[in-house]
Structure 1
Amino acid sequence: MARTLIRGGHVLTMDPALGDLATGDVLVSDGVIEAVAPSLPADDAEVIDATGHLVLPGLIDTHRHTWQSLARGICGDWTLGDYYFGIRLAISPAFTADDVRLGNRLGGLDALNAGVTTLLDFSHCNNTPDHSDGAVLGLQDAGVRAAFCYGFFESSPEASRFGEHDARIADFHRIADTWFPTDDGLLTLGVSLSELFGLPWDRTVAELAAARERRALIVNHTGCVWGSVLTGGIVELDAAGLLGPDIVHVHCNTLDDAEWEALVRSDGKVSISVETELNMGMGRPVFERCRRHGLAPTLSADVISLNSGDLWHEMRFGLGLTRWEATEAVNRAGAMPERVTTLAKEALTWTTVNAADALGLGDRIGSLTPGKRADLQLVGGGALEQHPRIDPYATLVFQTTAADVATVLVDGRVVKRDGALVGVDLPRLTVEADTAADAILGRVRDAGRELPGTPPGAFEALEPVARGFHAEAEKAVG
């Protein structure tokens, strides 16, 4: 067996039964955490010196459009409407299958570089079967752990080779048969639902049925368009008995109390994309709503065409927002709070134990518990902003960036060592990414599209069709 001993670090296990070790060792055997203790014998193990570092689980992102890594930053000044018309209807059709593979490889490596060892890959640039294969291969190339969530979204008729929705369902089953013969590898299978009421109700039901036939994780954009039935559907899914603990609900900004109660009854999971929601006009991130209804929040980087792939940013923004929410009424009453209501350690649970449970992987990852897979990271060392390190959780949430992530292991394999990704020709990769992005944007221009290209009254124009599908759903579920 391959054995690795991470020696002498400040170990934050995120396991309440084990707690933290101011100085401790983590022994990894054949990809599994074998032991965590103040001191362990090295025997025949490779030793990684963790002196001066924090040792903690790899972070987990519960919703990322990884393919959009090749459009990094293009959405910096876009609304959600701009994103829909610019990314989904203009840029997505211009992606080739090779672009999707490169985007997923680039995005997976970007995640690993920042200590994010697991992604929920919301993959909705599957314009052809080759695109679907490219998305899986890109994640494999990167070596990241991921739930590959197959998206059925139709970007445009000219970009798709599928035609009928049934053909997309068939391609999902092909992907399941080809790439996911078991569910115990680095990549696990999922489904990204098309936006509810963006298509006829029977197609949503068919997508859910296909996912559950394969025991796949399900992710859905839920409640993120104000004044519209688009991305709603919680009431109808609840009435039809289609909600469940296997669904990750992303955003949830517009949900009312009855919809939250339906999520609670179903043991649904919630993913909060703090930067996207604050920057694209989607409303207040739902930390307080989760607290009120007893749901465990998780975090996601979401659209890499806007956000960093660095979950340290999401934690920092999220923690600041939760503390502001808790003090706003106190401040308006002319007073100051006596204590903070959410601790830095709690923010770290959003991206570790909570996120592992949301992905159905709580028995494999999320804490440094013996018997779990060895997804972990070493943070700090001699980095200037890491010293002095008085409170390790505060250091992680408030002082850490991807540059402070020194070493990363996935399934016991070292993928980043001493600040550099292992086996990656970074200059070549960045040139490939720049060249591919230029070609994609060239094809967008050749197609006569302007970016973001949002028509006036865009959502209003979509609403009559969406309301028709909504009425159909209401009739179907009584």
Structure 2
Amino acid sequence: MRTLIKDAIVISMDPAVGDFRRASILVDGDRIAAVGPDIAAADAEVIDGTGMIALPGLIDAHRHVWQGALTMVAADADLHSYFGSILSKIAPVYTEEDVRIGNLTGALQAIDAGVTSVFDWSHIQHSPAHSDAAIGALKDSGMRVVFGYGFPNLGPEWFFESRNHIPEDIRRVREDILPGDDGLVTMALALRGPEMSGIDVTAHDLAVGRELGLFVSVHVGNGDFGKPYKSVHKMREAGLLGSDIQYVHGNSLDDDSIAMIADSGGQMVATPTVELQMQFGYPATTRFLAKGVRPGIGADVVTSTDTGLFAQMASTFQIARHQAYEAGTPSIDTRDVLSFATIDGARSIGIADRTGSLTPGKKADIILVRTPDLFAMNDPVAYVVLAAGPQAVDMVMIDGVVRKRDGRLVRDDLAALADRLEASRTRLMDAAGIAPPIAAYA
């Protein structure tokens, strides 16, 4: 099957390919075959991109996808109240079905918003069946996912200086469910690290992940909560740092810690909207840049932000520009931010060889973004970063398969999924004893 996305404004995010006022993208099977003006492909299905912007699918480098039923339930929460409600009350009552529908709708929410790849930091491993449900749902969604196997969210014994090791079921998942590293859904380790478990537990769990050949993601510098633990310093002293680790947040890390990560070849990820709302402190994006690390960005939790990356891009740009003025950190432009959400994001989750740019030979992960009527298109990159939103996403292609067309997800079970999602939301709230804000409406 060949597809020709025809006559769009093209932002390739590959300097060797360039950008075009009007060009086409030829897709052959699951790969990009060519990018440029006036491509001839008589045997290809044509998708008309006139008046739209074609760009690589957005890369969400950090999201807890299982929370698909919890959209905007904790928008007013800071980090402590988020722990007290979402993780302490709601997460423990998740059944296998809640994980299945949460992950499936969570992934589809992201696809609908133009996200084609996500690092799913999954800390809902209550049982082997819960993990299988999570992975099965991700496969059903058709999304490109790095599944970060985490831990059970059943109580404080799994957080706050936990002495519990990663569940042994991680080996079964790696060997039997996700043994390869080249499928749409691949495996990683969601490591609690020194801010949630002792350094000896961190060393044990990291050794398991490395034994299994897994990329690793860990939260560090989580605002005031993270300050006392000096996570990166402890990991360096224990000889644990490495180029196979992605570090998330980093708001309260000192400059020496960021330099240690950079020197080790580690990757970094910021989630600016949630970090600002939950009072972690200023996002560390430009402090990463100052040490030579180009970060990815992520939505983190849909309990508190929208389901895409457009809000994240706008927040990233605006706060970084303010920080440059106030604190003298490096200034950035809108292309930097789009890079964080595409090629840098792909690099930060270990898949830049496959996606993140419209490069011939890479996987065909492509989106088309509509522009409004009566909008003079002077700067397509600035429009995507600062003026577009999930509703502007017209087409989403992942691995050469169209998952959204003409502004609608391409599935025939959306009504049934909506019913299952509502049933899960209601059951979770009742079981947790939490009333969502809408419950107060007359």
TM bucket (normalised to shorter chain) is over 0.9
Q: 1:405 aligned to 2:393?
A: yes
Q: 1:349 is matched with which residue?
A: 339
Q: Please say if residues 62 and 298 of structure 2, whose CA atoms lie closer than 8 Å, have aligned partners that are also in contact.
A: yes
Structure 1 residue 95: Cα displacement: 0.6
Deviations 1:211-267 (A, max 9, x none): 112221211110114165566421121122211122111110111122111111111
Q: 1:283 is matched with which residue?
A: 281
Gaps of 5+ in 2: 438-442
Q: 2:27 is matched with which residue?
A: 28
RMSD value, Cα: 2.2
Structure 1 residue 426: Cα displacement: 2.8
CA 1:429–1:235 in 2, change beyond 3 Å: closer, same or farther? same
Structure 1 residue 181: Cα displacement: 2.4
Deviations 1:26-65 (A, max 9, x none): 1111101111121111132111111111110000011001
Deviations 1:392-450 (A, max 9, x none): 011111211111100010000000001000014333322221111110111112xxx89
Q: 1:461 is matched with which residue?
A: none
Secondary structure of residue in 1 paired with 2:273: helix
Of residues 357, 366, 370, the one that matches 1:376 is 366
Alignment of 1:184-333 (within 5 A): 184-226=182-224, 232-328=230-326
Q: Distance in 2 between matches of 1:245 and 1:323?
A: 29
Identity of aligned residues (%): 37
Secondary structure of residue in 2 paired with 1:348: helix
Structure 1 residue 310: Cα displacement: 1.4
Q: 1:4 is matched with which residue?
A: 3
Q: 1:425 aligned to 2:423?
A: no
Structure 1 residue 320: Cα displacement: 0.5
Structure 1 residue 391: Cα displacement: 0.8
Q: Distance in 2 between matches of 1:229 and 1:295?
A: 22
Structure 1 residue 152: Cα displacement: 2.1
Decide which structure has the larger Cα Rg and report it: 1
> 1:291 is matched by which residue type in structure 2?
L
Secondary structure of residue in 1 paired with 2:168: helix
CA 1:435–1:154 in 2, change beyond 3 Å: closer, same or farther? closer
Structure 1 residue 108: Cα displacement: 0.5
> 1:413 is matched by which residue type in structure 2?
V
TM superposition outliers: structure 1 runs of 4+ over 6 Å: 449-452
Secondary structure of residue in 2 paired with 1:56: strand
> 1:360 is matched by which residue type in structure 2?
G
CA 1:263–1:228 in 2, change beyond 3 Å: closer, same or farther? closer
Q: 1:468 is matched with which residue?
A: none
Structure 1 residue 155: Cα displacement: 2.3
Q: 1:179 is matched with which residue?
A: 177
Q: Please say if residues 226 and 252 of structure 2, whose CA atoms lie closer than 8 Å, have aligned partners that are also in contact.
A: no
Q: 1:414 is matched with which residue?
A: 402
> 1:322 is matched by which residue type in structure 2?
A
Q: Distance in 2 between matches of 1:228 and 1:42?
A: 55
> 2:343 is matched by which residue type in structure 1?
V
> 1:115 is matched by which residue type in structure 2?
G
Q: How many residue pairs end up in the alignment? A: 433
Alignment of 1:53-72 (within 5 A): 53-72=52-71
Q: 1:78 aligned to 2:77?
A: yes
> 2:406 is matched by which residue type in structure 1?
D
